Every structure is written in C-alpha cells, then in structure tokens.
C-alpha cells in the first residue's frame, strides 16, 4: 500500500460560497456521481462498450476547478473525461449518447468515452493517450496569449484548465509544457488529479518525487497542493490560479490529492488497492463532505439538496432514454469529418 501523505490543512474561510454557488457546485458534483453510476450500470448491461473510465470520488476536482471558469475559458481532459464534459456544460444526454455511439453524441458517435469534444463549450477534448492533451491545452492558452499580445485584443483573457493524472507527470510532455508555459507566462492551470494509482502502478513506485506540486518550482511556477476531496479547497486554489492567469501572471500547477472509488476502468479487476486504503478514502467522500458543510453552515436546507438529487436522477435517466432512442450514425457518412468541409 502506498504511503499516505498528510492531507494539507485548508482554511475554509478562504473560499466561502454563497448559497447559490453552493447549490451550483453541489448539483455539478451530484451530476458527476450519478452519471458515472449510470454508466457502470449501462456498461455491465452491455449498452456501452470499449474502455470506460469513471470519475467517482474525484468530483471535487472537476466541480472545484471548472465552476470557477467562465464559459469562454477552455478545458482539456483525458480518457477519464465524462465529468469534465458535464462540468463545462455539455448536456448529459449528449455525453450519454456519445457513450452509446449515437449520432446525437457530442462527438457524433465517432469518438466514444475517451474522445469527448464540444467546440460550443470550449471542451478541447478527451485525450486518450497519456500526456497528449497537455500540449493541446498549451496551444489554446498560447492562442489567448497571442490574441492579447500580438493582436492587441484586450478581451482575450481566457484561461485554459488542463486536467491529467499522477501517472502523466512522469511523461516528457508534462515537463516540456510546464517549461513553455512558464517561459511564455501562458494563462493555463495544470490540474493534477493525483489519485495515487495509474492502473496497477502505485504513484510512489513510478515517481522519484511523489509530491507533484513541487515539480512546478523547478520552472519558477507556483505549485500548490490541495485536499482534492474538499471541493472548497480545490475551489480556493483554482480561484487564485484563475485570477493569476487572467491577470497575465502566468501558469499555476494545482496538485489535488484525490482517489478514484472504482477501478482504473470498468475492465480493471482492481485487485491491487487494499481494502483499508479504499475504506479510508471512501470515508472522505467529497460529495458527502460538501453536503455536510452546506448543512452545517446553514447555507441550504436538506430539502434543497434532496430536490437537486431527485432532479439530477431524472436528468440522468432521461439521458439514457435519449441515448437509446437516438439514431446511429448514417453509414453513408463513414468518411465524413476526415477533412474540413470548407
């Protein structure tokens, strides 16, 4: 079992939320959780195929970061991308339809679980190979920087949030892109979701420096670690990173200490992680923790939260119905989208 790092202490007063913000974040986290639970059900019932990587347990990261962003900011994800797509606002039914391989999917049924895209929502993708999304995210950040500095467009202050896991931080593209982001002071946030495990490779067996946030300092970049099971801790770090990026003060690396409650993918028997480790992290469930916070602070009523849970369950169920009833791609369009049509 990997050694447990002491979770950073977080002062909640740094990131107080209003009732409205709290409900928005809560709803996003519930959506992420319920959507993924439904995916597992659909996968085991043979309704979706391929490699499906679920996000259960890591919801505080997606909601904590993405709910700090504007709609014109950019988000870049990995193969574990369903919940990032939901957080940026891709409708659940279009994500579900994609997983069912339908024409109404956000990638028209051509992408699948690991290749979710939505230009409308500035979702740069689901990138299936380790590390390959980081340069693409860097390119989006460079684009904003270019418009602002080379073309003089003062309104081009968009920020790019780039998500990836602990395993990726041993890959060259991670280091190459941290270097360029710091070199050019690009408006990008590197969000490391350190869930302690690649597939069967424990982080401390793969990395000589397990405290990933420290790797930022080599590039003169701000690196922070946060309790990735606490959405307000993530939000607090993200708000500061977004502020800095938007102000032209450059990139930030945020290491979120988190955990996935399921195997690497639904094809992973998940036999290497110990029962004790799993139970310890399950006890920190970010959804329950935030719910408790909202109630203890008297920000919301229990009935408000239940109403959200009921609404989201209905929405997820409707997403499945939509996906099931949607048409498959037309075989006559097998070659469509290879090249731009104009």
What residues make contact with other proteins under the rule CB under 8 A? 74, 76, 105-111, 115, 117-119, 124-125, 127-129, 132, 134-146, 149-151, 172-173, 176-177, 179-180, 183, 336-342
Nearer to other proteins among residue 246 and residue 289 (C-beta): 246
Nearer to other proteins among residue 200 and residue 329 (C-beta): 329
Helices 286-296 and 59-66, packing angle to 10 deg: 60
Q: Is residue 257 classed as helix, strand or coil in its secondary structure?
A: strand
Nearer to other proteins among residue 177 and residue 242 (C-beta): 177
Nearer to other proteins among residue 119 and residue 154 (C-beta): 119
Determine the Cα–Cα distance for residues 308 and 304; give it in Å rounded to an integer: 6
Residues 84 and 127: beta-carbon distance below 8 Å = no
- Token duo for residue 69: 């962003």
Q: What is the smallest separation between the CB atom of 79 and other proteins, expressed in angstroms? A: 12
Nearer to other proteins among residue 246 and residue 278 (C-beta): 246
- Token duo for residue 11: 């002062």
Q: What is the smallest separation between the CB atom of 50 and other proteins, expressed in angstroms? A: 13
Nearest Cα neighbor of 224 from 242, 197, 206 is: 242
Determine the Cα–Cα distance for residues 90 and 53; give it in Å rounded to an integer: 18
Residues 75 and 123: beta-carbon distance below 8 Å = yes
Q: What is the smallest separation between the CB atom of 217 and other proteins, expressed in angstroms? A: 19
Burial call 13-30: b when 16+ CB within 10 Å, e when fewer:
eebebeeeebbebbbbbb
Nearer to other proteins among residue 5 and residue 246 (C-beta): 246
Q: How would you class 201 by CB atoms within 10 Å of its CB: exposed for 0-12, middle for 13-18, buried for 19 or more? A: middle
Determine the Cα–Cα distance for residues 187 and 176; give it in Å rounded to an integer: 16
Q: What is the smallest separation between the CB atom of 97 and other proteins, expressed in angstroms? A: 11
Q: What is the smallest separation between the CB atom of 104 and other proteins, expressed in angstroms? A: 10
Residues 54 and 92: beta-carbon distance below 8 Å = no
Q: Can you say whether residue 298 is alpha, beta or left, with left for phi > 0 and alpha for psi between -120 and 50 degrees? A: left
- Token duo for residue 186: 């690009």
Q: What is the smallest separation between the CB atom of 328 and other proteins, expressed in angstroms? A: 13
Q: What is the smallest separation between the CB atom of 321 and other proteins, expressed in angstroms? A: 21
Nearer to other proteins among residue 156 and residue 307 (C-beta): 156
């Amino acid at each position: 079992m990997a050694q447990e790092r002491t979770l950073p202490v977080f002062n909640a007063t740094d990131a107080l939320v209003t009732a409205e913000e709290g409900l928005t974040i809560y709803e996003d986290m519930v959506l992420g959780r319920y959507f993924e639970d439904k995916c597992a059900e659909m996968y085991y019932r043979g309704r979706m195929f391929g490699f499906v990587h679920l996000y259960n347990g890591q919801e505080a990261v997606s909601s904590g970061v993405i709910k700090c962003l504007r709609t014109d900011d950019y988000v870049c994800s990995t193969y574990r991308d369903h919940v990032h797509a939901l957080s940026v606002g891709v409708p659940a039914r279009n994500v579900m339809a994609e997983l069912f391989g339908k024409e109404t999917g956000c990638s028209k049924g051509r992408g699948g679980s690991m290749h979710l895209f939505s230009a409308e929502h500035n979702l740069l993708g689901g990138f299936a190979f380790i590390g390959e999304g980081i340069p693409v995210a860097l390119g989006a950040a460079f684009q904003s920087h270019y418009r602002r500095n080379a073309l003089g467009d003062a309104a081009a202050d968009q920020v790019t949030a780039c998500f990836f896991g602990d395993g990726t931080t041993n890959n060259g593209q991670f280091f190459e892109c941290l270097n360029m982001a710091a070199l050019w002071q690009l408006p990008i946030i590197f969000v490391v979701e350190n869930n302690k495990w690649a597939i069967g490779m424990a982080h401390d067996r793969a990395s000589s420096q397990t405290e990933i946030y420290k790797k930022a300092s080599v590039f003169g970049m701000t690196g922070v670690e946060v309790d990735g099971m606490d959405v307000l801790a993530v939000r607090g770090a993200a708000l500061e990173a977004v502020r800095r990026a938007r102000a032209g003060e450059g990139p930030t690396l945020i290491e979120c200490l988190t955990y996935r409650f399921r195997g690497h993918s639904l094809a992973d028997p998940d036999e290497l992680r110990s029962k004790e480790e799993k139970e310890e992290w399950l006890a920190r469930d970010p959804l329950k923790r935030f719910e408790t916070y909202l109630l203890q602070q008297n920000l919301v009523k229990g009935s408000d939260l239940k109403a959200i849970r009921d609404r989201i369950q209905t929405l997820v169920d409707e997403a499945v119905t939509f996906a099931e009833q949607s048409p498959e791609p037309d075989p006559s369009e097998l070659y469509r989208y290879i090249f731009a049509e104009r």
